[in-house]
Structure 1
Amino acid sequence: MRDSLTITRRKLLSGMSVLAGSSLIIPGAYASDTSTESDEETESESPRRWCIKNATVLTMEPGQAPLTKADVWVVDGRIEAVGESLDTGDSEMIDGEGCIVMPGMVDTHNHMWQTQMRGMFGQREGSLFFPVTKELGEHFRPGDTWIGEYLAAMENVNAGVTTSNDFFDNNRGPEHSQAALEALAASPLRARLLFGNESKTTDGQIDLERLTELHENWERYAERGRLSLGLAWRLPENLDNQDAMAMKRREFDTAREMNLPIAVHVSGENHHGMFQTLIDGDFLIPELQVVHATDAREEHMDALNEAGASLALTPITEHRVAYGLTRLSHFERVERQGLGIDGNALAGSGDMFEIMKHAALTEIAASEDETSVDCERLVALATRLGAESIGMGDEIGTLTPGKQADLIMIDTKRINLGMLPTEPYAFTVFAATPADVSLVAVGGRIAKRGGKLLDMDEEQIASRIDASLSHLRDNL
């Protein structure tokens, strides 16, 4: 990551406390807090009006074929128009010749706090993902949480992911949730913090008082709508424990009273029983996202559809932890679904291109049919369908006039690509990489340009990573 960073130290360091401290007040380059620095000392602002010219444009609107030699015009953070030879007045022009412009990708499920654990998981007893994250999670300080969240956010943006649904399940106290929120605010990423428990394996109750406080004061955290709040919910380990189920229902009902979206894992050895519990308990609602559900039964998927709930598939991590084979064809009947990273550490990176490719190759190999994968639908799962699955389809997911300008540009002239494709969807799935993403904008604000992330202090972040890693390794 270091080779792709632009250093603007003063802005990132403004207000930072030391990594080991329990309080982090970090405005960051993308937070909306008012800065006292002069204009010359702050990061360069994105233009209010700008236009990408002469690009191949994948609007991802249903039924819309790719556009060639088209323009995408952005005004005040939203898409003003898409078409050929637009009259954009005095807008800043960005050359899109030889590039693909498409909506920013939507990561429908992640555990961003874990990021600096990358490389700590092996495939042998004693180094497997779940026991390692449980052990290390107990030693996370607020500063470690900040680093994990911030690194994931910046890595995702660098890779063309403009939205992440963050299942925050190492919520060890108010200082940790505060650190997570401040890290997301300091990044350009559009994110939903799903407020969860202190451990992925505990049956303890979620801090509903803290959740209520966040909800009632969310305007302080929302970053003008870029950040949102939800519930990271888990079913109890013992589904027959009536007291535990009653507690989980209180959590669920509290989130419903606040009109918060809810995500729940359905995974592991008892995943069919978990799905049935959701059905029997009337927990399947449009605001509920079911995560994984590998090998879900037909009747379970039908119940999901009938309730209007959604599904997040994370094929790379589902395969790594041996949940079973994630085949796109198995889930074709699910109407609302999207793709997720499920932890940059476990997946190996925040690379949605690789997730699309992995899902495609799995289906092709398992079916023994090269035509079994629809690449346009795969790109839709990573953009429009993903946005719709997490309830954000009205604002993001397509390049539609009036929507937020969350978009990316892929430079097909790079040496590893070398051509403007005649099959842009297949090209995006099978050939594109994060290194080919030359421009990223979130809400019209340009976060990556010329292939380089903007407004990140490489040296200071590297030292904070080292301090966090040293602490975690001492407790491994």
Structure 2
Amino acid sequence: MEIDRRTLLQLGSLAGAGLAMPALAAQPTSQHPARLLVRNATLITMDPQHGDLQGADVLIEHNMIRHIGKNLPASGAQVIDATGMIVLPGIVDAHWHLWNSLLRSSAPIPGGPAFFETQQATSKRFTPALTELSVRLGLAEAIHAGITTVNSWSHNIREPEFAQAELRALTSSGLRARLWYGYPQDLSPQAPMNFADIERVKAQLQSSEYQRVDLGLAIRGPERTEAPIWQEEFDFAKAHALPVSTHIAVTQKMREKKAIQQLDDRGLLSPSVQLVHATHVDEQDLKSISANGASVCITPLTEMRIGYGLPPVEALHRAKLPVTLGVDTLVLGGNANPFLLMQTCLNLAIGTTGEEQFMTARDVLRWATQDAADAMGLGHEIGSITIGKRADIIMMNTRNLGMFPVIDPVASIVQSGTPADVDTVIADGRIIKRNGRVLGINLAQLSAQAAAGAAALTSA
């Protein structure tokens, strides 16, 4: 079964600039007030200078956080009553293959081929239109879950139009995003990436249209290519001031290639390098990562589902490394639930050490907010509710069953929160979820589109 952009247009899916189509005029769209006051919140700022505040207000003007305090004047502002809400910084998801979201929970197949085998086969069936739809589906789920910044690790860019499809979806979502420009799933280990198109996209992103989107390089790295290939990719990234991300040390067999040491020996580890999974790092690896300031992104739910093993949360926390969290892929993870990611990390840390005070809910919340922003080089703009930062804020409804009573607000976020408890999402000053509803999206229509897209990808 084939599906192209025209077919998706007939389904009412991809016309115009976003998920809110002209045919969906009855659907409420995102709001962008010039002045917005969030009133009477339980405020978790993740900023040591402000700390946690009760009954606090946050004033947003022109996408920026202007004031934090109590009883702030509401003159000329749209007011959101945050009574009964925990207000915190928007969550930063650091690693997500948004392009395959249509294949939710489709692998591994019981008694069937391995996950990577099915992915290699299915990746060839993607078209730019299916990629765009898939990314839009994931982004809608990100908004629902309170994620205001996404890192789209796109390792199935088969031609330039695939990159354009991702960019259309990312820019129309209202979220902050990094497109990690990758490679076709079936690209030969001896073949280089499409450097010319990466340069084209980098130039394209200089336009004001893409002010919330930046670019990184998603590479196969030392475990999947030989040195001439990955060295060229690092050289290209350095020449064009691009961050680099690679999957690494995912299994013990891969660990035997000593990829982290190879990078360290060549002086290629730095704060602009993200190491994904790192499930089987050893002490030498941890020292190299720490000494060079590289960050580690773990995706505990998918790492366990695919059999990589238990994420080394204890070792990463003890080493005080820059750690971030990722959904990774809906194929394995099922859905986007950053609260479950945080809770899983906390439970793994305590369960493996036997020390109930070894790690706290605030520690893992910091991984998902300020630490993730810092790892992206955006910590001065996002990651905390701080005067002068961009207004990326979410509100959790503590009136929902399963959330009340709230004794420790931070623990309630990490241990009790779910995407359904996210009442309001403000991304760069724009309200994109309100009263528990993602704005500008007709879910029935998106569901029909997704079903058609999934059928196109999985039909023999």
Query: Normalised by the size of structure 2, how large is the TM-score?
Result: 0.91
Q: Is the 8 A contact 2:237 2:244 kept in 1?
A: yes
Partner AA of 1:270 in structure 2: M
Q: Percent identity?
A: 32
Corresponding residue number in structure 1 for 2:99 = 113
Q: Distance in 2 between matches of 1:411 and 1:147?
A: 30
Q: How does 1:13-412 map to 2 (within 5 A)?
A: 17-19=6-8, 26-28=16-18, 43=29, 45-62=31-48, 64-122=50-108, 124-199=110-185, 202-203=188-189, 204-220=191-207, 223-237=209-223, 244-266=226-248, 267-268=250-251, 269-272=253-256, 273-332=258-317, 333-412=319-398
Q: Secondary structure at the match of 1:370?
A: coil
Q: Distance in 2 between matches of 1:319 and 1:42?
A: 39
- After TM superposition, give the deviation of residue 247 of structure 1 in Å: 2.4
Q: Secondary structure at the match of 2:386?
A: coil
- After TM superposition, give the deviation of residue 354 of structure 1 in Å: 0.6
Note closer, same or farther for the CA distance 1:279–1:180 as it changes in structure 2 (3 Å cut): same
Corresponding residue number in structure 2 for 1:12 = none
Q: Distance in 1 between matches of 2:284 and 2:346?
A: 25
Once the two structures are superposed, residues 110-160 of structure 1 have per-residue CA deviations (whole angstroms, 9 ceiling, x without a partner) of 111111111211364524322221111111111111111111111011101
Partner AA of 2:201 in structure 1: L
- After TM superposition, give the deviation of residue 441 of structure 1 in Å: 0.8
- After TM superposition, give the deviation of residue 229 of structure 1 in Å: 0.9
Task: List runs of 5+ in structure 2 lacking aligned partners.
Answer: none
Q: Distance in 1 between matches of 2:26 and 2:305?
A: 47
Corresponding residue number in structure 1 for 2:427 = 442
Q: Secondary structure at the match of 1:270?
A: helix
Partner AA of 1:247 in structure 2: I
Once the two structures are superposed, residues 424-462 of structure 1 have per-residue CA deviations (whole angstroms, 9 ceiling, x without a partner) of 111111101110100001100000001100011334323
Equivalent pairs, count = 447
Q: Is the 8 A contact 1:295 1:330 kept in 2?
A: no
Partner AA of 2:296 in structure 1: L
Note closer, same or farther for the CA distance 1:199–1:20 as it changes in structure 2 (3 Å cut): farther
Q: Distance in 2 between matches of 1:77 and 1:343?
A: 30
Once the two structures are superposed, residues 371-392 of structure 1 have per-residue CA deviations (whole angstroms, 9 ceiling, x without a partner) of 2321111111110111111211
Partner AA of 2:435 in structure 1: G
Q: Distance in 2 between matches of 1:200 and 1:297?
A: 30
Task: List runs of 5+ in structure 1 lacking aligned partners.
Answer: 1-15
Note closer, same or farther for the CA distance 1:44–1:303 as it changes in structure 2 (3 Å cut): closer
- After TM superposition, give the deviation of residue 311 of structure 1 in Å: 1.1
Q: Secondary structure at the match of 1:50?
A: strand
- After TM superposition, give the deviation of residue 366 of structure 1 in Å: 2.2
Runs of 4+ off more than 6 Å: 39-42
Q: How does 1:403-422 map to 2 (within 5 A)?
A: 403-419=389-405, 421-422=406-407
Note closer, same or farther for the CA distance 1:198–1:238 as it changes in structure 2 (3 Å cut): closer
Q: Could you tell which deviates more after superposition, 95-104 or 324-333?
A: 324-333
- After TM superposition, give the deviation of residue 98 of structure 1 in Å: 1.1
Query: Normalised by the size of structure 1, how large is the TM-score?
Result: 0.88
Partner AA of 2:17 in structure 1: P
Q: Could you tell which deviates more after superposition, 376-385 or 331-340?
A: 331-340
Partner AA of 1:417 in structure 2: M
Note closer, same or farther for the CA distance 1:25–1:219 as it changes in structure 2 (3 Å cut): farther
Q: Secondary structure at the match of 2:8?
A: coil
Q: Is the 8 A contact 2:223 2:254 kept in 1?
A: no
- After TM superposition, give the deviation of residue 338 of structure 1 in Å: 1.0
Q: Is the 8 A contact 1:157 1:188 kept in 2?
A: no
Q: Distance in 1 between matches of 2:28 and 2:352?
A: 52
Q: Distance in 2 between matches of 1:138 and 1:20?
A: 22
- After TM superposition, give the deviation of residue 59 of structure 1 in Å: 0.4
- After TM superposition, give the deviation of residue 202 of structure 1 in Å: 4.0
Q: Distance in 1 between matches of 2:27 and 2:343?
A: 42
Q: Is the 8 A contact 2:261 2:288 kept in 1?
A: no
Q: Secondary structure at the match of 2:290?
A: helix
Q: Secondary structure at the match of 1:391?
A: coil
Q: Distance in 1 between matches of 2:7 and 2:342?
A: 38
Q: Is the 8 A contact 2:27 2:442 kept in 1?
A: no
- After TM superposition, give the deviation of residue 20 of structure 1 in Å: 8.7
Q: Distance in 1 between matches of 2:109 and 2:320?
A: 32
Q: Distance in 2 between matches of 1:161 and 1:384?
A: 13
Partner AA of 1:425 in structure 2: V
CA RMSD of aligned residues (A): 2.4
- After TM superposition, give the deviation of residue 45 of structure 1 in Å: 3.3
Partner AA of 1:371 in structure 2: Q
Q: How does 1:445-456 map to 2 (within 5 A)?
A: 445-456=430-441
Note closer, same or farther for the CA distance 1:415–1:100 as it changes in structure 2 (3 Å cut): same
Q: Is the 8 A contact 1:25 1:182 kept in 2?
A: no
